Amino acid sequence: MTGRIRLGADVGGTFTDVVLATGEDLVTAKVPSTADQSVGVLHGVEKACEDAGIDPTSVDEFTHAMTVSVNALLERAGAKTALVTTEGFRDVLEIGRQDRPDLYDLSAERPEPLVPRRRRFEIPERSTPEGIEAGVDEEAARDVATEIRECDAESVAVSLLHAYAAPQNEQRVVELLKQELDVPISASHEVLAEFREYERTSTTVVDAYVTPAIDRYLGRLSQRAVETGLPEPLVMQANGGIAAVETVREHAVTTTMSGPAAGVVGANAAAGEVAEERGRNGLVTFDMGGTSSDVSLIRDGEAERTTAAEINGQPVRTPMVDVTTVGAGGGSIAWVDSGGALRVGPESAGSDPGPACYGNGGTDPTVTDANFVLGYIGESTALGGELALDADAAFDVLADLADEAGLGGPLDAARGVYRVANANMARAIRSATVERGHDPREFGLVAFGGAGPMHACALADDLDIGTVVVPPACGVLSAYGLLAADEKHDAVRTHRVGLADVDPAVVDERYDELEGDVLADARDPDAATVRRRADLRYAGQSFELTVDVRDPFDPDHVEERFHEAHASTYGYRMDEPVDLVNLRVSATTPRRGPATAYEAEGDAHTGEREATFGGERTYETPVYDRTGLEVGRSIGGPAVIEQAESTVVVPPIWDAEVRADGSLVLVEEDR
């Protein structure tokens, strides 16, 4: 065994995935997720280390992705948070943008703010984009601290008017509150130094809302890791980069899409070369886990990113991998609505009790149960390498669903569940491609997650995508992505000025300050590469585009880059003045993914079983053990290819070929 031993652990809604890289060997483990996620993580780590024949004390690097913050938002189970803002702006969270979630639905309701009005407090002060007009009323600030203490708030968000441009008042309020309170305090000029009061306030509130949970969780995980002999974990952020625990605990909002971001990074690392070889414009990543499916887009070797996401109705403006999520996973429950139509999700059976076929007492029909009845997984399939399946339970719950939906029997119900789940996921892919001006036919599809490769070819057929890639560690690819992710830190500051009036020296000074901020978070600043970018728009527009900028700042070059970006995105350019809006800086420290070798082991063909494809046709389908498939081998469909953490379904008229790295490339025969 040579080289550094690296470990990645990703927590999902149903399973916790672990990848252990020891030299050229890759050892994987999949264990049920636990209520305290750190328990499941350590269980998975111990299992992977045992399988690899090493002691946890031998691990050199431990990287982790979690769902603590996003679960807190989805379940509204975060901290009891208070908001302190400028006098007269108490209701910014509730007013929002005054838009309607559904224009013609008179009964549409918005999600309740994370901070109710009784815990929103005002302080007399006033700032403008040009500076401070009135200082903080310190007596009023201390009175607010008393009220916050009396309402038993567990965290505080401070978001004063125009603090992105003139933070002095906000800094003083934070100082006063810290003197009086012993709870975490999130300040908007530190969380998001960017204009737009509603989004800045919302993001700051989200940071305060999830900070106590993140702090407690990472504290427990770090302690358990040290007790086990592991190094302190590095944590995946929503931007697709990792950071040290202490950095993440200070910027909790950056963890909101930690797990899905790791999956996209892993997909790019594992399949980017295939897309380039086959002349694809990029990759559509498709991660189907136990609770949901995540879709993202990779173009020019980079994951699409956004700074304008919304999670459970809460705007979150922090750099993150642009992921579209739909509530359709292996554990998604199938049901019949009041009109008699078959539906799938978003409610999930989770890991406890899980799908009925798990044999843990589950009584609801799920997508996994449907895949069992269709023959894509069988009684001998050991999910996660250790979970044997209960055939009778799967057929029983599908039979009950068939009776309720007026279908012929379990097989008819299973086909219906499979099709409905696929329709939900195809909509998510169209949302990430067609609705944003991209033709999915020009991309390859990377399928991963425990259930993704079972549905990938059916989705590719629906979307006319001709190439599907299934990486070797497809069932645990998010955990693999943790080993391939770079360290990355981002900073932003609003600087609104027309490009015709810009002072390049002032802009460069602001960039230098932002560069200092991101390098301060880097573990090794000397190894980091700094990238400067800017948000721009035509005068009068209300949305921006982001482009790279030179150092030193060159207004003419930036303007031309913006015109090109606008033409590429919207199909035209305008003869209008261009405004500079935000300055962005990122610091990236490259990390190389594990250099693993693939070699077939054992016999590939393990048997046959009946599997149903398309309409009503059932085939006697060969079943293969993926670890026994030698490089260069081609398998024609129909076929089922099993491995410990996932199953690949190869339908009729599709072929699967084994690449040198162990990836499966699936193509339709007529392409």
> Which of 638, 267, 671, 252 has its CA nearest to residue 448?
267
Q: How far is CA 555 from CA 224, 538, 577, in A?
A: 52, 14, 12
Name the DSSP class of 11.
Answer: E
3 state SS of 158: strand
**DSSP labels, 516-569:** HHHHHH-SSGGG-EEEEEEEEEETT-S--EEEE--SS--HHHHHHHHHHHHHHH
CB 361 within 8 A of CB 353: yes
pLDDT at 127: 93
Q: Which of 388-392, 491-495, 503-507 has the lowest mean pLDDT?
A: 388-392
Rounded Cα gap, residues 82 and 515, in angstroms: 32
Taking the C-alpha atoms of residue 506 and residue 431, their distance in angstroms, rounded to an integer, is 40
Strand 634-636 and strand 654-658: the pairing is antiparallel
pLDDT of residue 65: 94
Mean local confidence (pLDDT), 11-39: 86
Question: Taking all residues of the chain, what is their mean pLDDT, rounded to a whole number?
Answer: 90
Q: Is the pLDDT of residue 160 over 50?
A: yes
Q: What stretches of 140-211 adopt beta strand conformation (E)? A: 155-159, 185-187
Closest CA to 89 of 184, 160, 41: 160
Under 8 Å between Cβ of 214 and 67: no
Query: How many other C-beta atoms lie within 10 A of the C-beta of residue 536?
Result: 24
CB of 112 closer than 8 Å to CB of 119: no
Q: How confident is the model at residue 57 (pLDDT cuts 50, 70, 90)?
A: very high
Taking only the tens place, the pLDDT of each residue in 113-155 is 999 999 999 999 999 999 999 999 999 999 999 999 999 999 9
22 pLDDT higher than 60: yes
Q: Please compute Rg for the chain using Cα positions.
A: 26
Pair 534, 614: CB distance under 8 Å: no
Encoded tokens for 662: 């162990």
Contacts 24+ apart (CB under 8 A), 545-553: 545/569, 546/307, 546/584, 551/508, 551/511, 552/504, 552/508, 553/502, 553/504, 553/507, 553/508, 553/511
Residues 6+ apart with CB under 8 A from 42: 224, 225, 228
Backbone angles phi, psi at 514, to 5 degrees: -65, -40
Q: Which residues contact 494 (CB under 8 A, 6 or more apart)?
A: 164, 165, 193, 194, 195, 581, 582, 583
Task: Please compute the mean of the pLDDT values over residues 387-407 and round it to a whole number.
Answer: 89
Q: What is the pLDDT of residues 620-652, one digit of tens each?
A: 999 999 989 999 999 998 999 998 878 999 999
DSSP code, position 6: E
Mean pLDDT of all residues in 314-331: 89
Residue type, 163: A
Residue indicated by tokens 């979307």: 463
Section 345-363 average pLDDT:
84
Alpha helices in 242-357 (DSSP H): 245-250, 258-277
The C-alpha atoms of residue 506 and residue 537 are separated, in whole angstroms, by 20
- Under DSSP, the state recorded for 290 is S
> pLDDT tens digits for 529-544?
999 999 999 999 989 9
Select from 201, 142, 205, 127 the least CA-distant residue to 177. Answer: 142
189: closest CA among 211, 172, 176, 214? 172
Tell me the one-letter amino acid at 531.
Answer: R
- In the predicted model, what is the mean pLDDT of residues 88-107? 82
Question: CB of 488 within 8 A of CB of 590?
Answer: no
Q: Which of 616, 612, 617, 602 is nearest to 649 (CA)?
A: 612
Report yes or no: 279 and 467 within 8 Å, Cβ to Cβ: no
670: pLDDT strictly greater than 80: no
CB 210 within 8 A of CB 249: no
| Mean pLDDT computed over 215-234 | 94
Strands 155-159 and 185-187: parallel
Long-range contacts of 274-281 (CB under 8 A, 24+ apart): 274/444, 274/467, 274/469, 274/659, 274/663, 274/665, 275/443, 275/444, 275/467, 275/469, 278/444, 278/467, 280/442, 280/443, 280/444, 280/467, 281/438, 281/442, 281/443
- Residues 164-213: pLDDT tens digits? 999 999 999 999 999 999 999 999 999 999 999 999 999 999 999 999 99
What local confidence, expressed as pLDDT, does residue 177 receive? 97
Here the tokens at position 159 are: 């978001």
Asked whether 57 and 131 are in contact (CB, 8 A), the reply is no
pLDDT of residue 347: 86
Question: Quick one: which of 444, 418, 238, 214 has its CA closest to 325?
Answer: 238
- The 3-state DSSP class for residue 190 equals helix
Amino acid at position 334, single letter: A
Mean pLDDT of 447-464: 92
Q: For residue 231, is pLDDT > 90?
A: yes
Going by C-alpha positions, the residue among 43, 17, 15 that lies closest to residue 28 is 17
DSSP code at position 514: H
3 state DSSP class of 307: coil
For residue 353, cis peptide bond before it (omega within 30 degrees of 0) = yes
Q: How far is CA 420 from CA 279, 332, 335, 350, in A?
A: 32, 11, 11, 19
Confidence tier at 416 by pLDDT (50, 70, 90): very high
Q: What is the rounded distance in angstroms from the CA atom of residue 657 to the CA atom of residue 655?
A: 7
Average pLDDT over residues 244-267: 92
* SS3 label, residue 210: helix
Give 461-499 as a 3 state SS string: HHHCCCEEEECCCHHHHHHHHHHHCCEEEEEEEEEEEEH
Contact status, residue 28 vs residue 47, Cβ threshold 8 Å: no
| Residue-range domains of the chain with CATH | 74-213 (no CATH), 487-589 (3.30.1490)
The pLDDT score that the predictor gives to residue 1 is 40
Instruction: Supply the pLDDT for residue 387.
Output: 59
Beta bridge partners of 7: 20, 62
Angle between helices 367-374 and 410-432 (to 10 degrees): 120
Asked whether the beta carbons of 15 and 477 are under 8 A apart, the reply is: no
Lowest mean pLDDT among 38-42, 124-128, 345-349, 378-382: 378-382
Torsion region of 494: left, alpha or beta (phi above 0 gives left; psi -120 to 50 gives alpha):
beta
